[in-house]
Amino acid sequence: MQKLGIVAKLASQHSILFLQEVHGFFEDISTWLHQFAEKYVWFHSPCLANGQVNPNAGGVLCLAQKNHFVGWDISFREEVPGRIMRLDSTRDEGNEESMQQVCFSGAHNFDISVRQMARSERRVNTKVKDAKTHPSRFGFVLAADLNLPPRMGQNLPLSSPSRTKVLNSAIFSPLTPQKRPNHKAWTRLL
């Protein structure tokens, strides 16, 4: 319940909140989030294993404050189940020139196949192109845990584990080298 308190605080401070590593079946998530139903619209994209929900693997959850989207139609779309999801907010005043759309994508950069990444990359590029071509009508936001190495600044060497603190622990933990999936594709998108 302490984690739900943190989620409630974060959600109240932002229009949209993407969470990663959200474990559980739909019924579990619905039970936990019943307190948010009045003020928020939410969507959970669970992680799948062999086509079935895997409650032991975390998915992606999005909470959006209803009062921040008055007059907007909101829809959710799974780009990659449990890994990449999108919230589309659209406002249409009756003609094509007055239509506005803002897309928010949340990505958890883990266990995404090359094929899934290629499809997602094309979708993101389309949304970015729309936003660049018609900035008064289209917007796009990507929120993700890409874990890409910094482009500028000092890299933290893996040989310096004492400089790395695990956030939910009182101990310092050594980093282990990990292959970051889809590194080149994410870098191209950014």
For residues 106 and 104, give the distance between their C-alpha atoms in angstroms, rounded to a whole number: 7
pLDDT at 163: 47
pLDDT at 166: 45
pLDDT at 174: 45
Please, which pLDDT band fits residue 177 given cuts at 50, 70 and 90?
A: very low
Indicate the average pLDDT of the chain.
81
For residues 108 and 174, give the distance between their C-alpha atoms in angstroms, rounded to a whole number: 22
pLDDT at 25: 83
pLDDT at 150: 56
Domains in the chain: ranges and CATH: 2-148+164-189 (3.60.10)
Please, which pLDDT band fits residue 127 given cuts at 50, 70 and 90?
A: very high
Strands 59-65 and 100-107: unpaired
Residue 1: which residues within 8 A CB-CB, separation 6 or more? none
pLDDT at 111: 81
- Of the candidates 14, 36, 32, 13, the residue with the CA atom closest to the CA atom of residue 23: 32
Number of CB atoms found within 10 A of residue 82's CB: 25
Quick: pLDDT tens for 90-116: 998 777 778 899 999 998 888 888 899
**Does residue 128 register a pLDDT over 70?**
yes
**Percent of the chain having pLDDT more than 70?**
79
